[in-house]
Chains A and B, each alone.
Chain A
Amino acid sequence: MTGHVLLVEDEPNIAEAIRFILARDGLRVSHLADGLEALAAVRGDRPDLVILDHMLPGLSGLEILSAIRADPDTRTVPVMMLTARGRDREAAERAGADRFISKPFSNAEILAEVRAMMNR
């Protein structure tokens, strides 16, 4: 599979594991840990998929998602959110997330979801 995934996650070891799984599957993965930088990257790089953690420094995952959906240039970018709780998931759904993965996730689960979204 080919394509560019922007991973926005402030936990370095989680990010490393996800990068490894996706890169092994052929995807190009760029990683950012800061919310503000991530928003700029979405606007500048136009990734094929954004994987967005809920709790981030700078801007929260929900704030980034809202900004992506409010910008006509980025509103169609597919976004998968990594959430911890049911309440977070409901908020993410309202903000316009396409998919959700709840922590702690399995590698097979996240890979299957990414493949499904990239093949849409």
Chain B
Amino acid sequence: MANSDYKTIVKDGLWDNNGVFSMLLGMCPCMAMTTSATNGFGMGLATAVVMAASSYLVAVFRNRITTEVRIPVYILIVAAMVTVVDLGMNAWMHELYKVLGLFIPLIVSNCLPLARLEAFAAKQSPTPAFLDGLFMGLGFTIALTAIGAVREIIGSGTLFADASLLLGPSFKVIEMRLLPADMGVLMMILPPGGFIVTGLLVVGKRLMDLAAGKEIQMAGAHAL
């Protein structure tokens, strides 16, 4: 594959065809896990690992998986990868697991990995499929961190609170308090805040694309 194709994969995943802001996929973890930037970031990273691994595996076996049974096989692969990440995190990244553990199984119900397996990995060789999974996952991480940051700043007045639990004590410095605690608008941390912020950020992304003279990608056009 040519270098320009890899560039497209990276750009598509991170921005142009962003799973959340362009395709509006994976809304379930997107709403549930973005009460703070740190939570969104952790959830995004876990999703990226699962997506890269499952895209790679689907591409490796793409000539063995027949059309008729492909959906159960994809779900099997995603679920197996999620379980591996779940067990591995519980054993070796236990602090992180205590924060995210409850939400790792949610990745199975995220339709973004499944959409990318069907739309991309099933037709590509392992390397581009791996990259697509990875960068789609990182794009998801960016989106979740952005939504989480906005909700956290308005809702609790902090930014990256508890980041040291997730990333280690040296990240204590990025934990910030931007507004006094009693100024927080509670609604932003509750589910309605997730919908409002996600909606506004989707509009924001499209306005930026319009300003840059890009054609707007239709939501879900590349999905299942």
Do A and B interact?
A: no
